[in-house]
Amino acid sequence: MQKSYIIGFPRIGEQRELKKALESYWSGQCSMEQLQSTADMLKSRHWHYQKDAGIDCISSNDFSYYDAMLDTAQMLGAIPRRFAHIKDEKKRYFAMARGSKEAVAMEMTKWFNTNYHYLVPELSLDDRYEIDAQKVLDEYEQALQEGVETKINLIGPITFTALAKRSDGGDAMELLGRIEEAYEQLLARLSTLEKQPLLQIEEPILATDRVAELLHLVKPAYERLCRAAAPCKIAVATYFEHSVEAVKELVETPVHAFALDFIYGKENFKALPAIAQSGKHLIAGVVDGRNIWKNELQGSLELLESIAKEVPKRKLSVSTSCSLLHVPYTLEYETKLDPEIRSWMSYAKEKLQEVSLLKRLFFHESPAQDDLQALENNSALFAQMKRCEKIHDANVQKRMRERDKSQRAGKFAQRIVRQKQRLNYPELATTTIGSFPQTPDIRKVRREYKKGAIAKAEYEAAMKRYIKKAIEVQEEAGLDILVHGEPERNDMVEYFGEMLEGFAFSQNGWVQSYGSRCVKPPVIYGDVSRKRPMTVEWITYAQSLTDRWVKGMLTGPVTILNWSFVRNDLPPSEVSKQIALCISDEVNDLQDGGIGIVQVDEAAFKEGYPLRSKDRKGYERWAVESFRLSVSSAREETQIHTHMCYSNFNDIIHTIEAMDADVISIETARSGNKLLHIFAQTGYKQEIGPGVYDIHSPRIPSVDEMADQIEKLLEVLPKEQLWINPDCGLKTRKWEEVIPSLENMVKATQQVRRKRS
């Protein structure tokens, strides 16, 4: 078995080449062939990076044009009926991902507790699965031709099915048997490959609580799959948590190896005796695939030694904890980072070196002098980091100790009366989530200002022109509560991070979020504080232009935390509360500036949830506390909104309630009113804006369609409690799409209001 192992590598390209190629293909500026050649170049480059770093076990089929779950659906022939008429395979693929004129896109949701989004497969009893292995084979063959013998990455059937939904009602798991049959066909095909590649089958669902309901399926499934794959061997990979229950089942099947996460799944230790006894291989994920800090080599070697006490060294490999998809490519382009902070960091390419080095240090009888030196330097670096003054701010620590008020005054029932009097908005009040199209113009101005190419006055004038246009558009469309449009923000977290102390910013630290979209998470390396107001000037300017109310727009502490790479020398709960104190100062400045409504977005609240229920209470406690702390300065008559990019609140409804926001907006367009019932059933009192149209697609929804959607909402919740808004921010859309969509949304609302009055 190979000794250094990488679960998977990012694909968007270190200069986001794939993003650019995809977007120009979508806009008709480049051909499919050009897109394909970019893809081939990237695959090849990534294999060679790994090979050159001395990685023994490299993947194929970790590339995707959009998403691996979508690829899997395509491979199985699980094509939702509304796309079946599209004959061109690539066109159909992108239509499923992004929607088309006739058909709404497939639902997209977050991949476990990451900020990567996958497309939710839609299964139905009518499906006829038939394997199309072309993509898998092509990638494998391409690598071979380039002299790289790869393992083949596949998403496992249990995870695929468990994450799918049924378009005809019923439980997706009922179709597992048929999905498995299709996988059997696939594996049988792969088993004929001459070099008998290792098959890495990823089953992260088995590292979550859902394993309880799925456990009985694991053994029969993998007995089947192993039989079909022989003589190819199967390595089952799980990540983000432990998968002890499943491993204990799988040791009794012909599965050859387990890839387990020892960073976020320490409990995997409990699986070691069973693995040892079965004589199977263990691929030990000891290099964090989700964070950008350097590996503490000494600690990892000790971790590996303690693993080796149970599983013999000859049966061990060293690996990343998960795919490197979740970290940026390389520090090579980071020329502007503070060199000291940079010296603490490690991206995907650097992590390849770490895995390789750990392999040599751990497995070689007498490691090379250079490697020993590297180990020593690494230990010295960590010792020095612990003392570094850049990290510790006495004032922040004092304020954290002495903070007295952690929640706002007044109960919701009182507050809402005062707010309604003051703000005087109608029933079914219309609003948006905050951002408006990020036009090439506005991006350019920001970029130039950042570079120092234009003066502050010019920058501010451009921002204000945009804000003015945004206000005009909204007044014309007839919206009730307006926003300033967020032109000054390239990203809702980065913007705040840049204004706060304790954050560092990379130049090229892009991580794929969905499809062609990437985010560049800030790096929180030290104590966090606010030096000056961050948004007041923009929001109060917007408010000065109109008689309607303008919502202030902030990002919440939990989201800032969850979308950043966070220091790991302090518990996240503490980092989160440091941020919350800064936000509460901002809320206070906004209300002092005459702003009546402040939205504190917690788009990423849910994705921070631990995957195992035993850890959930703890997270909920500090996450809710952080949010409440962040709005603790709000007066009763200041209305606090929050926004979350989800639709399913079933298991966290009481936590959402405990956040005590006056109004919450959520994503519902893709799921109708199905998931809204929980708010009614639990007697949720605060106001709710369930999105009435999907903003992920360029499609302009019609008045009737949205009126229907509003009527559906009204079947569940009373009009006094409802707000009308899109699913999420509009920054990824174009004005030509946004203006008619909002006009239609307002018309639809008026139509419903008229009908009901």
> What pairs with residue 430 in β-bridges?
724
Question: Quick one: which segment of 344-352, 386-394, 430-438, 670-678 binds ligand GLN (CB under 6 A)?
Answer: 430-438
Nearer to Zn ion, 11 or 117 (CB): 117
Residue 281, phi then psi, degrees to nearest 5:
-85, 155
Q: Which of 131, 728, 739, 746 binds ligand GLN (CB under 6 A)?
A: 728
DSSP code of residue 108 = E
Nearer to ligand GLN, 99 or 729 (CB): 729
Q: Which of 66, 731, 733, 745 binds ligand GLN (CB under 6 A)?
A: 731
- Choosing from 46, 242, 641, 696, the catalytic residue is 696
Q: Which of 127, 634, 729, 739 binds ligand GLN (CB under 6 A)?
A: 729
Nearer to Zn ion, 728 or 745 (CB): 728
Question: Residue 435 binds which one of ligand GLN, Zn ion, none, with CB within 5 to 8 A depending on kind?
Answer: ligand GLN
Q: How far is the CB of 728 from ligand GLN (least distance, A)?
A: 5
Q: Is residue 553 at the binding interface for ligand GLN, with CB under 6 A as the rule?
A: yes
Q: How far is the CB of 620 from Zn ion (least distance, A)?
A: 20
Nearer to ligand GLN, 63 or 466 (CB): 466
- Give yes or no for a contact between 627 and 580, defined as CB atoms under 8 angstroms apart: yes
Dump the DSSP string for 269-333. Answer: GGGHHHHHHHT-EEEEEEE-SS--BPP-HHHHHHHHHHHHTTS-GGGEEEEESS-GGGS-S-GGG
CA-nearest of 604, 463, 600 to 538 is 463
- Give yes or no for a contact between 221 and 254, defined as CB atoms under 8 angstroms apart: no
Q: Is residue 435 at the binding interface for ligand GLN, with CB under 6 A as the rule?
A: yes
DSSP code of residue 652 = T
Question: Quick one: which segment of 66-74, 75-83, 133-141, 725-733 binds ligand GLN (CB under 6 A)?
Answer: 725-733
End-to-end alpha carbon distance in the chain: 72
Distance CA 339, CA 348 (A): 18
Identify the helix (H) or strand (E) that includes residue 688.
strand 687-690
Question: Quick one: which segment of 9-17, 214-222, 381-389, 724-732 binds ligand GLN (CB under 6 A)?
Answer: 724-732
Contacts of 630 (CB under 8 A, 6+ apart): 554, 556, 557, 579, 580, 581, 583, 584, 587, 600
DSSP code of residue 57 = B
Nearer to ligand GLN, 427 or 537 (CB): 537
CA 34 from centre of chain = 28
What residue type is 508 in one-letter code?
Answer: N
- Give yes or no for a contact between 745 and 692, defined as CB atoms under 8 angstroms apart: yes
Q: Is residue 434 at the binding interface for ligand GLN, with CB under 6 A as the rule?
A: yes
Nearer to ligand GLN, 500 or 598 (CB): 598
Q: Is residue 566 at the binding interface for ligand GLN, with CB under 6 A as the rule?
A: no
Q: How far is the CB of 729 from Zn ion (least distance, A)?
A: 6
Question: Residue 691 binds which one of ligand GLN, Zn ion, none, with CB within 5 to 8 A depending on kind?
Answer: none
Nearer to ligand GLN, 80 or 485 (CB): 485
Q: Is residue 433 at the binding interface for ligand GLN, with CB under 6 A as the rule?
A: yes
Q: How far is the CB of 714 from ligand GLN (least distance, A)?
A: 24
Q: Is residue 56 at the binding interface for ligand GLN, with CB under 6 A as the rule?
A: no
Q: Is residue 663 at the binding interface for ligand GLN, with CB under 6 A as the rule?
A: no
Footprint of ligand GLN on residues 601-620 (CB under 6 A)? 601, 603
Question: Quick one: which segment of 9-17, 586-594, 676-684, 727-735 binds ligand GLN (CB under 6 A)?
Answer: 727-735
Q: Which residues bind Zn ion (CB under 5 A)?
A: 603, 645, 728
Q: How far is the CB of 434 from ligand GLN (least distance, A)?
A: 3
Q: Is residue 156 at the binding interface for ligand GLN, with CB under 6 A as the rule?
A: no
Residue owning tokens 């956040």: 659
Q: How far is the CB of 691 from ligand GLN (least distance, A)?
A: 10
> What pairs with residue 117 in β-bridges?
110
Q: Which of 233, 551, 643, 699 binds ligand GLN (CB under 6 A)?
A: 643
Catalytic residue at 641? no
Question: Residue 553 binds which one of Zn ion, ligand GLN, none, with CB within 5 to 8 A depending on kind?
Answer: ligand GLN
Footprint of ligand GLN on residues 489-508 (CB under 6 A)? 492
Nearer to ligand GLN, 175 or 553 (CB): 553
Distance CA 122, CA 144 (A): 34
Q: Strand (E) positions, 472-572?
A: 500-504, 511-514, 517-519, 523-530, 551-555, 565-566
Would you state the structure tokens that stand for residue 424, as one six-digit string? 């005087």
Contacts of 68 (CB under 8 A, 6+ apart): 62, 118, 153, 155
Question: Residue 434 binds which one of Zn ion, ligand GLN, none, with CB within 5 to 8 A depending on kind?
Answer: ligand GLN
Distance CA 130, CA 77 (A): 5
Residue owning tokens 């809320």: 587
Question: Quick one: which segment of 168-176, 380-388, 433-441, 469-477 binds ligand GLN (CB under 6 A)?
Answer: 433-441
C-alpha distances (whole Å) from 103 to each of 127, 478, 698 are 18, 28, 11
Nearer to ligand GLN, 515 or 729 (CB): 729
Question: Residue 482 binds which one of Zn ion, ligand GLN, none, with CB within 5 to 8 A depending on kind?
Answer: none
The reply to whether omega before 231 is within 30° of 0 (cis) is yes
Residue 705, phi then psi, degrees to nearest 5:
-60, -45
Q: Is residue 626 at the binding interface for ligand GLN, with CB under 6 A as the rule?
A: no
Distance CA 280, CA 320 (A): 19
Parallel, antiparallel, or unpaired: how do β-strands 316-320 and 59-60 relate? Answer: unpaired
Any idea how long the chain is?
Answer: 757
Count of residues binding ligand GLN (CB under 6 A)? Answer: 13
Distance CA 580, CA 406 (A): 10
Question: Quick one: which segment of 264-272, 532-540, 728-736, 743-751 binds ligand GLN (CB under 6 A)?
Answer: 728-736
Radius of gyration over every alpha carbon of the chain, rounded to an integer in angstroms: 26
- Residue of minimal CB distance from ligand GLN? 729
Residues marked active site are found at 696
Name the site residues for ligand GLN (rule: CB under 6 A): 433-435, 486, 492, 553, 601, 603, 643, 645, 728-729, 731
